[in-house]
Amino acid sequence: MRQAGRYLPEYRALRERTPSFLDMCFTPTLAAEVTLQPVRRFGFDAAILFSDILVVPLALGQSVTFEAGDGPRLDTGALGRLRPHVDHGKLEPIYETIGRVKEELPSEVALLGFCGAPWTVATYMVAGRGTPDQAPARNFAYQDPQAFGRLIDRLVEASSEYLVRQFRAGVHAVQIFDTWAGTLPPVEFVRCCVDPVARIVNAVRAAIPGAPIIGFPRGAGTSLPIYVRRTGVTAVGLDWMIDLAFAAAQVPSGLALQGNLDPLVLRAGGAALDVAVDTVMAAFTGRPFIFNLGHGILPDTPIPHVEQMLARVRAS
Amino acid sequence: MRQAGRYLPEYRALRERTPSFLDMCFTPTLAAEVTLQPVRRFGFDAAILFSDILVVPLALGQSVTFEAGDGPRLDTGALGRLRPHVDHGKLEPIYETIGRVKEELPSEVALLGFCGAPWTVATYMVAGRGTPDQAPARNFAYQDPQAFGRLIDRLVEASSEYLVRQFRAGVHAVQIFDTWAGTLPPVEFVRCCVDPVARIVNAVRAAIPGAPIIGFPRGAGTSLPIYVRRTGVTAVGLDWMIDLAFAAAQVPSGLALQGNLDPLVLRAGGAALDVAVDTVMAAFTGRPFIFNLGHGILPDTPIPHVEQMLARVRAS
């Protein structure tokens, strides 16, 4: 999950001096600095590239802006005249950021790249913004499956190329975020989430044999087994709602699990945080496991709570 | 799920002449008429009492208003001075509505009562409104488990008494709606959703032996089996996200399943609707099953789509 952000004073200090959020993402010196900030402060085992999933629609020719405190806005009028292929020139600063981070990162710390999954990116492209129930994209998929399929196809190709170039620029592994996978019925989940991610995994591995890829189908719930089986991801990120015994039993034991602390209990802190950390640590003994949150860190999370969590994880 | 509503012109005609949504709920002639409207139009096998889950906080002394198009508003300042027990005088018009509906309803049509589950009702009571992630109530549960537990205890008692009186007024079965169960980690799901509903089921059955009770833990996902096992509900309502093979395998075959058409595919209509109806019908052969939506009908659902769905269900 994104490690940098507004909960860090050193991030806020840089952000205040930068005109827009996208300027942060597309200025390699800034993006590299922000990527490194949480690793310097907390000594994490991995750094996560600071960027945004909506750089792909941008590189496909759809305008994207971020209103302060109000999330992204995309030009839905551009949906009918997207570029057939991604403009890698637009994404060049991100590849440069990866190179800069690699120069400064201790050799024992992994660097993770990422992209949004086609379904999640499409929900923003179709609605022009974030939506609580993804109704515009879900409706589009029901009413015009052909046109929706073409949009997904374009995102599969763009995302595959984008991840391959991230690997070539130096990331050790990538993560595919399907934040809005959880509102789909199982048949639609397979069509919109599982199949496109499977195609990305195949395309990336054709260029980068054995590339480590972490899938994060948030809200997959009872459909997690089919996601794992069909996508061929190396590891799977778990949201905080899933039953841990179910995940441990249903996901083959050689496959790494990642997760899944409730971001809200990290913000709440106290005894509840200790109990929740212990629950996660106890659930995944005896298999490859990456401790993480079950989704992104909340902006108003107190830093002492992050320190409390880390101390408990490291002592266990 | 609620059958009446804005998608029906006969509902809109009555609603326009009524000062507020709560006036509809608390005026027995109006609430009975609205309860009967969808049964008259579509010939459903069951009628669902027209009311709202927030009548329980009202009867506990918390003020509730409905702003047009903006959902409910509750006075969070009243949380510290709730009545210890529910004021059944306030709920009397609802029991009267049940009697009126029973007089007019054909004898072969069942009448269902309902209440909100303590967790879902608490999310509104704590936040003062609907929230996309239920963060205020979840945070309260983490930070002050004792005070949160007292609120849940009060809701368990109030809801149990409310359901018993609905049975005594004449409903054939009741449903317990836990609309916001899906954002909780498994441990919290058991504490906030499973245990309180189990206590309600026990209390209602102590007064009404064998009372049929349908549980609806929306978003339960991988935690559905523990919900079914521990609550002792007679039937379980399924949301549209759950894997049907998982539900059919995990829920004991004597227990009825209810659901689970995506309300959005009903609004979308067309070939996608036919396919989705067939998927639901095929998944639940050979066991007690109630065809239903996976959540409430959307206000802008075209009536011809409801007719298309019913014809397909009845022909299958």
Query: pLDDT per residue over B109-154, tens digit each?
Result: 999 999 999 999 999 999 999 998 999 999 999 999 999 999 999 9
What b/e readout covers B90-114, taking b as 16+ CB neighbours within 10 angstroms?
Answer: bbebbbbbbebbbeebeeebebbbb
pLDDT class of A132 with cuts at 50, 70, 90? confident
Count CA atoms within 13 Å of residue B270 on its CB side: 12
Radius of gyration of chain A (CA): 19
Lookup result for tokens 């009562």:
B113
* Contact indicator for A125, A62 with CB cutoff of 8 Å: yes
Q: Does A219 touch chain B (CB under 8 A)?
A: yes
Strand pairing category for B64-67 and B173-178: unpaired
Q: Does A184 touch chain B (CB under 8 A)?
A: yes
Chain B: nearest CA to A128, how far in angstroms? 19
Catalytic-residue membership of B12: no
pLDDT class of B259 with cuts at 50, 70, 90? very high
Taking contacts as CB-CB distances below 8 angstroms, the residues of chain B near A183 are 241
Asked if residue B60 has pLDDT above 90, the reply is yes
Mutation target vs B (from A264, A277, A309; most B CBs, 10 A cutoff) = A264
pLDDT class of A249 with cuts at 50, 70, 90? very high
Asked if residue B70 has pLDDT above 90, the reply is no
What mean pLDDT is reported for chain A? 96
Residue B35 is inside which H or E element, if any? Answer: helix B28-42
pLDDT class of B286 with cuts at 50, 70, 90? confident
Radius of gyration of chain B (CA): 19
- HEC readout, chain A: CCCCCCCCHHHHHHHHCCCCHHHHHHCHHHHHHHHHHHHHHHCCCEEECCCCCCHHHHHCCCCEEEECCCEEEECHHHHHHCCCCCCHHHHHHHHHHHHHHHHHCCCCCEEEEEEECHHHHHHHHHHCCCCCCCHHHHHHHHHCHHHHHHHHHHHHHHHHHHHHHHHHHCCCEEEEEECCHHHCCHHHHHHHHHHHHHHHHHHHHHHCCCCCEEEEECCCHHHHHHHHHHHCCCEEECCCCCCHHHHHHHCCCCCEEEEEECHHHHHHCHHHHHHHHHHHHHHCCCCCEEEEECCCCCCCCCHHHHHHHHHHHHHC
Asked if residue B39 has pLDDT above 80, the reply is yes
- Integer Cα distance of A254 and A246 in angstroms: 16
Q: Does B65 touch chain A (CB under 8 A)?
A: no
- Integer Cα distance of B267 and B277 in angstroms: 13
Q: In chain A, what are the domains?
A: 9-237 (3.20.20.210)
Q: Looking at this protein, which amino acid is placed at residue A224? A: L
- Integer Cα distance of A19 and A35 in angstroms: 18
Asked if residue B253 has pLDDT above 80, the reply is yes
- Integer Cα distance of B95 and B77 in angstroms: 29
Q: Does A217 touch chain B (CB under 8 A)?
A: no
Asked if residue A113 has pLDDT above 90, the reply is yes
Total-model pTM: 0.96
The token pair at A99 is 């190179």
Taking contacts as CB-CB distances below 8 angstroms, the residues of chain B near A143 are 268, 270, 272
Catalytic-residue membership of B15: yes
- Integer Cα distance of B222 and B234 in angstroms: 19
pLDDT class of A62 with cuts at 50, 70, 90? very high
Q: Does B27 touch chain A (CB under 8 A)?
A: no
Q: Mention every residue, 6+ apart, whose C-beta is less than 8 A from residue A290.
A: A235, A256, A257, A258, A259
Q: Does A185 touch chain B (CB under 8 A)?
A: yes
Question: How much of chain A, in percent, has pLDDT values that exceed 70?
Answer: 100
Asked if residue A232 has pLDDT above 80, the reply is yes
Asked if residue B22 has pLDDT above 80, the reply is yes
Residue B36's nearest CA partner among B18, B13, B10, B16 is: B10
- Integer Cα distance of A265 and A251 in angstroms: 25
Q: Which of B7, B11, B52, B227 is catalytic?
A: B52
Chain B: nearest CA to A25, how far in angstroms? 27
Q: Mention every residue, 6+ apart, whose C-beta is less than 8 A from residue B227.
A: B189, B193, B194, B197, B215, B217, B220, B233, B236
Taking contacts as CB-CB distances below 8 angstroms, the residues of chain B near A139 are 264, 267-268
Q: Mean pLDDT across the stretch A230-248?
A: 95
Q: Mention every residue, 6+ apart, whose C-beta is less than 8 A from residue B73.
A: B64, B65, B66, B67, B128, B129
Q: Looking at this protein, which amino acid is placed at residue B208? A: I
- Interface contact A247-B135, CB threshold 8 A: no
Size of interface A-B (CB pairs under 8 A): 97
Q: What is the pLDDT of residue A7?
A: 95
Residue A14's nearest CA partner among A39, A31, A38 is: A31
Asked if residue B252 has pLDDT above 80, the reply is yes
Taking contacts as CB-CB distances below 8 angstroms, the residues of chain B near A185 are 240-241, 262, 265, 276, 279, 294
Other Cβ atoms within 10 Å of A315 Cβ, number: 8
Summary count for chain B: helices (H), strands (E): 15, 9
Asked if residue B202 has a cis previous peptide bond (ω within 30° of 0), the answer is no
Query: Phi and psi at residue B236, in whole multiples of 5°?
Result: -130, 130
Q: What is the pLDDT of residue A213?
A: 98
Q: What is the pLDDT of residue A286?
A: 85
Q: Mean pLDDT across the stretch A34-63?
A: 97
Taking contacts as CB-CB distances below 8 angstroms, the residues of chain B near A264 are 135, 138-139, 142
- Residue B248 burial (C-beta neighbours within 10 Å; 0-12, 13-18, 19+): middle
Mutation target vs A (from B142, B144, B187, B265; most A CBs, 10 A cutoff) = B142
Active site residues of A: 2, 6, 15, 52, 124
Strand pairing category for B71-74 and B64-67: antiparallel
User: Minimal Cα distance from B137: which residue of A?
Assistant: A264
Q: Could you tell me how far CA B38 lies from the centroid of its own chain?
A: 17
**Residue B296 backbone class (left: φ over 0; alpha: ψ -120 to 50; beta: rest):** beta
- Interface contact A142-B222, CB threshold 8 A: no
How close are the terminal C-alpha atoms of chain B, in Å? 22
Interval A273-301: pLDDT, tens = 999 999 999 988 889 999 999 999 999 99
Of A221, A226, A268, the CB nearest to B241: A221
Q: Mean pLDDT across the stretch B152-180?
A: 98
Chain A: nearest CA to B215, how far in angstroms? 19
Taking contacts as CB-CB distances below 8 angstroms, the residues of chain A near B246 are 222
Taking contacts as CB-CB distances below 8 angstroms, the residues of chain B near A145 are 272
* Contact indicator for B208, B200 with CB cutoff of 8 Å: no
In this structure, of A236-240, B42-46, B242-246, B263-267, the range with the lowest mean pLDDT score is B242-246
User: Minimal Cα distance from A262: which residue of B?
Assistant: B185
Q: Does A186 touch chain B (CB under 8 A)?
A: yes
* Contact indicator for B170, B111 with CB cutoff of 8 Å: yes
Q: In this structure, is the dihedral angle defined by the CA atoms of residues B117, B119, B125 and B127, taken in order, positive or negative?
A: negative
What mean pLDDT is reported for chain B? 96
- Integer Cα distance of A262 and A266 in angstroms: 7
Q: What is the pLDDT of residue A69?
A: 74
- Interface contact A276-B185, CB threshold 8 A: yes
Asked if residue B79 has pLDDT above 90, the reply is yes
Q: What is the pLDDT of residue A130?
A: 94
Looking at the DSSP bridge assignments, the partners of residue B174 are B113, B213
Q: Looking at this protein, which amino acid is placed at residue A315? A: A
Q: What is the pLDDT of residue A67?
A: 78
User: Minimal Cα distance from A188: which residue of B?
Assistant: B241
Asked if residue B284 has pLDDT above 90, the reply is no
Q: Mention every residue, 6+ apart, whose C-beta is less than 8 A from residue A243.
A: B186, B221, B222, B223, B226
Please name the residues between 286 and 305 in chain A that touch chain B, using a CB distance below 8 Å: 294
Q: Mean pLDDT across the stretch B20-30?
A: 96
Residue B128's nearest CA partner among B60, B179, B196, B71 is: B71
Asked if residue A186 has pLDDT above 80, the reply is yes
- Longest Cα–Cα distance of chain A, Å, equals 54
